[in-house]
Structure 1
């Protein structure tokens, strides 16, 4: 199962549909485009194993580069469009990328990257001059390259706690570009995707993230159709499910929260009867939010826990989740171990650092120290999450180790507080951090994005305190609640708490 095969057997079937514009690319055309991209990479001097970076919005051309790289044996480095020129230049240099392919939509930050990397060749989508990506692709043949090899993708961490770190994958086991990959088996056997490609999949998140990129390419390997949203909007997502008769989809909890905050008449306006399977991950989902989604969409919601590192995966379907609310499921790839501060495994029900045991583990590129910090003495690897496993083997995540607040000597996990805040009808998003405090060391601070900024103020703060007090002990209650119109959240659902902590630390220093 591979797009090369589907280009022969289902040539006219749509491989890609852009949700808003309706632009459609068939499997035959995607195959020709991928061949041109592979030739282009060779033409620009990239050999198997060489890296190139991609800075691009959700666009049909993104898949030219993905599948072209997979045929050229190169290392594609997707870059978040949210980053600054300095951060992008760091990733380019750290990955030793020999080419940058970018979009004219990011011209301003691209100028900064060019200043920092003056010798780096650049091709631009949307530009008409000598650096035009489309013009460069059109000059290439649409036949296969002479020396195909299996490509790889080096993803960088979100940088929510410091400099992004590259996750260098283990070398491919086969150089047959049509060879299967583990995610296909996990999708079919775990998530229940049809093996014959009889699916239309909605992808609402940026393609530069691990999950959207991984699941979209898995759909292509299976022979399905990928409907890509140019940008997420809650009502537009529901409209796309109806318009394209979407059968499968992938989300993050922020998407759920925003769809649930839509007026009831808007939520009920669209026909979602084609929708058979919805998977979600990337961030913890508050229990009330997940319960409401299952009540709305039915028991079609499947959650998984994994990371860009690819060290393991757990999965839980709606029926099991209703019996184990809050769980992210049992392991379907790798073996889960929960360990205390001494590295010893802890009993069921006890929180500890979550490790995965797996035969194939990656390394953090150019960062042996971070790789070592993530490793257990037994050779297991952690993503940095805290959680526990119950007697039936179901994993529940408590929070991230790096997010823990220590206030007055007490360990406080902000996820519990955030999960409560976003269920309040007047709150659309929330972040809870530890801010410096002379007496306590850290104080609990909640930064809230209200549904209506006009309501931000003392009355809403008092209402939220009363709301939280019903479920939280006094030590966990925020000593301070601030309001702002938006939070620094990535489109994959991850919150840039580092930015917030740095901001509050600077205030304390001042």
Structure 2
């Protein structure tokens, strides 16, 4: 068996092997090579060491997408730190909770966010640094008012050593949440990241010859631990976009080979007249995940381009679990394929844990080297999510067809995935329920042609009240990231309940399932 290696060590080897090759191709025409990225990694590593980061310390990152942000990720791993990527849409309250729970040694934010966070560096426990989209800020020794600005230490401000991490050592903590709304940190190890990346490189035939269109955010699994890690380990190149713009992606298709996206990408591309077989002639793979892709969009895309989108299934706690085949079998619309090499999946009865036969719907469980180490400082919660034989209980509902393909039909909990991002209903309900004109609320996800799912709030007004939908939305907007905002509010006299008093959200979802069926891509509430 080959000795274990890490993402940061493989990247260092690629930078020596391909120093002049472009890793990042940027919208302004600039390229950033492997060697230039490696230099930035060494500089940031020196800075983090000067800030007091030691192996096992957390480094929180809430910055806009840039090549330097990827360098910060690699630098953190290089010195044995644990990366804590934070959604850039988080409000101050959401960020405060995560920082308070994970207790990072360093918090890196965008320069424009510093006024809201400069108080954090007043004690000795946390150092605040800044990093901008152009490499500006204190992290690379520039200005910006951070507490650690000044001359970088060490050999010209470079750190050349590579931390020798083992497969069980933590590499990152990604915060996810349950229906209680309490975020919890999923601890991903170096072994998790490497094993999953190697399986995907093989499954999708991803090599140094690939040119990826990267239009995803880099604060979650899909954008960072799938798209970026695969590119780094393969020695490939990325057209590195700040976000998704259909016209820009169409422009890049003739020069690229792979696009990794969420269903929203494909619904918007289908709205472009320039999406043709000719524009996709150099493309070999379109990947979709993070939310369900409607079968009709899968079929429409293949009809327009000749390419069948490859759907896969993953989650924060496991990385990627299953994939439709690259070759050797059909890519079935509405399915997420078969387990990756080394990964086991099964569908079980939610009460007994008994494995169910193919065709029956139950809870999806996963076991393999991709499955996370546990929730940060929550041993009891971690234990409750695993079976005695090591299978992780995902909470997703699915079934396996006669060909062994997995289909996801829903979620045991009421998680909403909108545009590839997780929305937890309880968090929104708690804010609505304290409004003086609201008696109670239920937040659900319903199908949306652009976002896969979107958020709807069903509200029972307080006696004698007649609240306006826009007033309720304004009242909660400041506490929630934009993607969590309900796109429609519906008022009812009472919420449906079972004999035990539990709100029947399935009934609400059925009632409002067609709310956005005729809405065009990008539409807001009707």
How high is the TM-score relative to the length of structure 1?
0.74
The 3-state SS of whatever aligns with 2:365 is strand
For this pair of structures, how many residues does the alignment match? 433
**1:87: Cα distance to partner?**
1.2
Partners of 1:159 and 1:230 in 2: CA distance: 29
Find out whether 1:163 has 2:179 as its counterpart.
no
User: Residues 27 and 138 of structure 1: is their aligned pair in 2 closer, same or farther, counting only changes over 3 Å?
Assistant: farther
> 8 Å contact 1:238–1:270 — kept in the other structure?
no
Question: Equivalent residues in 2 for 1:380-391 (5 A)?
Answer: 380-391=391-402
Question: Equivalent residues in 2 for 1:4-403 (5 A)?
Answer: 4-18=12-26, 20-107=27-114, 109-110=116-117, 114=120, 120-125=126-131, 126-127=136-137, 128-131=143-146, 141=156, 143-146=158-161, 148-150=163-165, 152-157=171-176, 162-170=181-189, 172=191, 181-194=194-207, 197-214=208-225, 215-242=227-254, 245-262=255-272, 264=273, 266-268=274-276, 271-299=279-307, 301-310=309-318, 313-317=321-325, 324-332=332-340, 333-342=342-351, 343-358=353-368, 361-403=372-414
User: Residues 161 and 488 of structure 1: is their aligned pair in 2 closer, same or farther, counting only changes over 3 Å?
Assistant: farther
Partners of 1:161 and 1:258 in 2: CA distance: 33
Q: State which drifts further: 389-398 or 128-137.
A: 128-137
Q: Which runs of 5+ in 2 are unaligned?
A: 1-8, 138-142, 417-443, 462-469, 471-487, 490-506
User: Residues 27 and 294 of structure 1: is their aligned pair in 2 closer, same or farther, counting only changes over 3 Å?
Assistant: same
Residue 478 of structure 1, aligned match among 512, 518, 523: 512
The 3-state SS of whatever aligns with 1:403 is coil
Question: Equivalent residues in 2 for 1:418-497 (5 A)?
Answer: 418=447, 422=449, 431=454, 435=458, 476-478=510-512, 481=515
Q: State which drifts further: 306-315 or 84-93.
A: 306-315
Superposed CA offset, 1:105-138 (max 9, x none):
4346546x74998962111124424428897669
Partners of 1:236 and 1:50 in 2: CA distance: 39
How high is the TM-score relative to the length of structure 2?
0.72
User: Residues 480 and 351 of structure 1: is their aligned pair in 2 closer, same or farther, counting only changes over 3 Å?
Assistant: closer
> 8 Å contact 1:361–1:381 — kept in the other structure?
no
Q: State which drifts further: 94-103 or 309-318.
A: 309-318
Q: Which runs of 5+ in 1 are unaligned?
A: 174-179, 406-413, 439-446, 448-455, 458-472, 490-499, 501-510
Partners of 1:135 and 1:23 in 2: CA distance: 28
User: Residues 371 and 88 of structure 1: is their aligned pair in 2 closer, same or farther, counting only changes over 3 Å?
Assistant: same
